[in-house]
């Protein structure tokens, strides 16, 4: 009996006279089962979002900027080729909607330069504003044929001699169009004959003479006929034909641009307005981009500012664009499309500058999932040899894809001027009707620099 | 047309034998774009001059494409029947004009008589259908089944 009782006591489960509370099970060091998440390979929306998330993590975790760019543009699919210099009607409206850009007419107000030795003139007056002289050696990398201008002596007049700069510009113009003996231009090659070399000469001489006053120009790099490319996604569409029919894809765009000249600098230009400012509205266009007309092709997804990532001059300063013969003013006037003349300048400015600033941002490691933390500012001058239009672009956001654009209140801003002639006519070795305003604005563009310098 | 050679006269066609048919676009087009079906021999210049001279419509841009008509249908002799090819022109209007293809079959307002007639007709069709289906209480069993 006692043995039976003892066995009964020892049987597990029924310990009625021992009241030990069973100890709570210790918290497991790791969960017993893996987390329940969507599949990766299934044909479902959850699986697609999980694949996208894994791709984003891969890009975030990339060690170098080159690796990030490689992964970003790895998947090739048909994409719209956006041409900055286009004959399409109302192209600048469409380009603004693709790049989420606000167009502000007129140039941004100039901030007074805070440099101690100089008494600056009125900040917003265009005429008579001047930076201080610096007796530093002017120098530009790769400026072939740039005439070496004697340096301004230290302590000379604090304002750059507008007469001197005007004579430089007139010299360049006359050299190209009057003094030099050129044969007749080939058919449809008028722009390469005279305005192209004139622009190169003008910019390189002005940059060389102003680099004494602007140390940023002295450390800059002048590119001749560089390449600027950018690839981005914006919006969603359903695939129409092919084996991927019916799937929802992002709309892909690529800009491949060849500005005539480009100045790249090692330090970034200062921001014009704060990052979150709202200066207008972005046009919304419901139609597919192919109605512009815009065409699709599949090729390499390139992101390039004009030099590779390791180059120290990785920020942009100014671009100079030359309009081709196809887009000259006389052609638009003959076809009674006068309002499209300005559209050409604006679309060129917006598209080229967006591509350049966005590529600069990608070179610093930002992309549409990792939005920019500081605005990227660049300038551009679009010309057809006689008429000059000035643009200033501030990139505030790179997040343009369908997922990231929803909660993104930031917009990119482009300040644009109308095209004004630099001179009226050149005859018998004289330049008639030279416009100083345009030259002054060009000089201000070249003298733009960060506040510390 | 006679081939143009330098110094020759400008080609002028006074009564063209072309026809342009304005059609409703299959996919939504921007507001300033009109879609036409034109003769296969017309060029972009022809289309522009046609609209500007005959109809005084300011034309900013013209784009054309040729739509291939399929050859897959078969007739009663198993011969392939081709649908004809045609040229489509997308014309962008100048001077800020817009065009919206009109609705050619608008909903007509019904007065009380037509409405009551429509109601009567719908009720009658319902009764006929129910008669055809049979008694719902029989649960789909046909009426010849039974004792």
Using a 10 angstrom Cβ sphere, with 0-12 exposed, 13-18 middle and 19 or more buried, the burial of residue A228 is: buried
Q: Is residue B55 part of a domain?
A: yes
Q: Is residue B102 part of a domain?
A: no
Mean pLDDT score, A376-389: 94
Query: H/E element holding B123?
Result: helix B112-133
Contact call for B30 and A293, based on CB within 8 A: no
Q: Which of B60, B88, B93 to mutate to test the interface with A (most CBs of A within 10 A)?
A: B60
Residues of B in contact with A89 (CB under 8 A): 32, 60-61, 92
- Residue-averaged pLDDT of chain A: 84
Contact call for B60 and A337, based on CB within 8 A: yes
Contact call for B94 and A336, based on CB within 8 A: yes
Q: In the prediction, which pLDDT does B39 show?
A: 94
Tell me whether the omega of the peptide bond preceding residue A293 falls within 30 degrees of 0, making it cis.
yes
Res. A231: pLDDT tops 70: yes
CATH of residue B59's domain is 3.30.70.330
Task: List residues of chain B with CB under 8 Å from any CB of chain A.
Answer: 27-30, 32-33, 58, 60-61, 63, 92, 94
Stated pTM of the model: 0.82
Residues of B in contact with A291 (CB under 8 A): 29-30, 33
Contact call for A287 and B28, based on CB within 8 A: yes
Q: Any idea where the domains of chain A sit in the sequence? A: 97-106+161-225+259-280+309-447
Mean pLDDT score, A81-101: 94
Mean pLDDT score, A248-255: 95
Contact call for A89 and B60, based on CB within 8 A: yes
DSSP secondary structure string for all residues of A124-186: S-STT--PPP--PPP--BT-TT---PPPPPTT--SS--HHHHHHHHHHHHHIIIIIS---PPP
Q: In the prediction, which pLDDT does B65 show?
A: 97
Q: How many domains does chain B have?
A: 1
Query: Does A104 touch chain B if contact means CB atoms closer than 8 Å?
Result: no
ipTM, interface predicted TM-score of the complex: 0.80
- Nearest chain A CA: its distance from B61 CA (Å): 8
Res. A14: pLDDT tops 70: no
Mean pLDDT score, A30-57: 92
Res. A126: pLDDT tops 70: no
In a structure prediction context, what are the per-residue pLDDT tens digits for chain B, which is 147 residues long? 788 999 999 888 888 888 999 999 999 999 999 999 999 999 999 999 999 999 999 999 999 999 999 999 999 999 999 999 999 999 999 999 999 999 999 988 888 888 999 999 999 999 999 888 888 888 888 888 988
Mean pLDDT score, A101-124: 59
Compare all CA atoms of chain B with the CA of A290 and give the residue at the minimum distance: B29
pLDDT band at A28 (very low <50, low <70, confident <90, very high): low
Question: N- to C-terminal Cα distance for chain A?
Answer: 102
- Nearest chain B CA: its distance from A291 CA (Å): 7
pLDDT digits (tens, 9 = 90+) for A282-329: 999 999 999 999 999 999 999 999 999 999 999 999 999 999 999 999
- Helix intervals (H) in A248-368: 329-334, 339-363
Res. A127: pLDDT tops 60: no
Give Cα separations from A75 to A71, A302, B112, B144 (angstroms).
Answer: 8, 11, 63, 67
Q: Which of A86, A87, A89, A331 to mutate to test the interface with B (most CBs of B within 10 A)?
A: A89
Q: Is residue B50 part of a domain?
A: yes
C-beta pairs of B11-16 under 8 Å, 24+ apart in sequence: B16/B46, B16/B50
Residue with tokens 């970003």, as numbered in its chain:
A72
Mean pLDDT score, A196-219: 92
Q: Is residue B127 part of a domain?
A: no
Q: Is residue B36 part of a domain?
A: yes
> Residue B2, CB half-sphere, CA atoms under 13 Å: how many?
9
Return the number of CB contacts < 8 Å for A and B. 21
Query: Does A337 touch chain B if contact means CB atoms closer than 8 Å?
Result: yes
Give the residue numbers spanning the domain of B81: 20-93
Contact call for B58 and A89, based on CB within 8 A: no
The angle subtended at Cα A89 by Cα A84 and Cα A94, nearest 5°, is 60
Residues of B in contact with A288 (CB under 8 A): 27
Res. A128: pLDDT tops 80: no
Q: Is residue B100 part of a domain?
A: no
Res. A154: pLDDT tops 70: no
pLDDT band at A145 (very low <50, low <70, confident <90, very high): very low
Partner residue facing A291 (CB), from B29, B58, B94: B29
Residues of A in contact with B58 (CB under 8 A): 336
Q: Is residue B62 part of a domain?
A: yes
Contact call for A336 and B30, based on CB within 8 A: no
Of the candidates A389, A334, A414, A317, the residue with the CA atom closest to the CA atom of residue A95: A414
Q: Residue B9: helix, strand or coil by DSSP?
A: coil
Q: In the prediction, which pLDDT does A130 show?
A: 34
Residue with tokens 């507001």, as numbered in its chain:
B31
Q: In the prediction, which pLDDT does A17 show?
A: 60
Dig out the tokens for B102 from the structure.
């009109």
**Which tops the pLDDT comparison, B14 or A115?**
B14
> What is the Cα–Cα distance from A328 to A218, expressed in whole angstroms?
34
Lowest average pLDDT, out of A31-40, A120-129, A224-233, A322-331, goes to A120-129
Contacts of A145 (CB under 8 A, 6+ apart): A201, A204
Partner residue facing B92 (CB), from A89, A287, A336: A89
Residues of A in contact with B92 (CB under 8 A): 89
């Amino acid at each position: 009996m006692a043995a039976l009782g003892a066995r009964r006591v020892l049987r597990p489960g029924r310990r009625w006279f021992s009241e030990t509370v069973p100890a709570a099970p210790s918290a497991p060091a790791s969960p017993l089962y893996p987390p329940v998440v969507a599949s990766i390979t299934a044909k479902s929306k959850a699986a697609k979002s999980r694949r996208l998330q894994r791709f984003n993590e891969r890009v975030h975790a990339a060690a170098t900027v080159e690796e990030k760019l490689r992964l970003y543009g790895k998947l090739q699919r048909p994409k719209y080729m956006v041409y900055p210099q286009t004959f399409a009607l109302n192209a600048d409206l469409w380009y603004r909607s693709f790049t989420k850009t606000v167009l502000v007419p007129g140039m941004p107000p100039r901030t007074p330069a805070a440099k101690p030795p100089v008494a600056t003139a009125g900040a917003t007056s265009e005429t008579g504003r001047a930076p201080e002289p610096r007796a530093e050696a002017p120098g530009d990398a790769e400026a072939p044929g740039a005439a070496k201008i004697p340096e301004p002596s230290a302590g000379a007049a604090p304002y750059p001699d507008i007469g001197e700069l005007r004579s430089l510009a007139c010299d360049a113009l006359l050299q190209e169009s009057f003094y030099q003996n050129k044969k007749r231009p080939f058919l449809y090659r008028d722009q390469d004959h005279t305005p192209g070399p004139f622009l190169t000469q003008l910019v390189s001489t002005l940059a060389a003479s102003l680099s004494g006053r602007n140390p940023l120009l002295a450390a800059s790099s002048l590119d001749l006929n560089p390449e600027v490319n950018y690839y981005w996604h914006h919006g969603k569409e359903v695939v129409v034909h092919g084996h991927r029919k019916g799937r929802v894809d992002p709309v892909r765009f690529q800009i491949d641009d060849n500005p005539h000249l480009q100045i790249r600098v090692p330090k970034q230009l200062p921001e014009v307005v704060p990052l979150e400012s709202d200066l207008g509205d972005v046009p919304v266009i419901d139609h597919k981009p192919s109605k512009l007309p815009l065409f699709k092709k599949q090729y390499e997804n390139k992101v390039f500012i004009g030099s590779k990532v390791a180059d120290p001059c990785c920020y942009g300063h100014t671009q100079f664009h030359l309009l081709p013969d196809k887009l000259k003013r006389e052609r638009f006037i003959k076809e009674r499309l006068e309002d499209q003349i300005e559209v050409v300048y604006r679309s060129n400015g917006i598209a080229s500058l967006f591509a350049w600033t966005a590529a600069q941002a990608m070179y610093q490691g930002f992309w549409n999932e990792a939005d920019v933390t500081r605005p990227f500012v660049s300038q551009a001058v679009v010309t057809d040899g006689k008429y000059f239009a000035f643009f200033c672009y501030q990139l505030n956001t790179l997040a343009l894809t369908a997922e990231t654009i929803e909660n993104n209140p930031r917009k990119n801003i482009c300040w644009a001027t109308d095209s004004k002639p630099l001179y009226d006519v050149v005859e018998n070795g004289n330049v008639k009707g030279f416009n100083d305003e345009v030259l002054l604005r060009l000089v201000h563009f070249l003298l733009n620099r960060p506040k510390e310098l | 047309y006679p081939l143009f050679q330098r110094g020759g006269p400008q080609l002028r066609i006074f009564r063209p034998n072309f026809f342009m048919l304005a059609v409703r676009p299959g996919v939504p087009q921007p507001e300033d774009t009109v879609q036409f079906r034109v003769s296969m021999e017309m060029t972009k210049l022809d289309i522009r001059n046609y609209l500007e001279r005959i109809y005084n419509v300011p034309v900013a841009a013209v784009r054309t494409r040729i739509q291939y008509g399929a050859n897959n249908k078969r007739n009663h002799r198993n011969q392939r029947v081709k649908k004809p090819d045609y040229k489509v022109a997308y014309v962008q209007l100048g001077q800020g004009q817009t065009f919206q293809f009109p609705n050619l079959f608008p909903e007509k307002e019904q007065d009380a008589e037509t409405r009551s007639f429509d109601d009567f007709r719908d009720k009658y069709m319902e009764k006929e259908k129910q008669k055809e289906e049979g008694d719902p209480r029989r649960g789909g069993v046909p009426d010849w089944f039974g004792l």
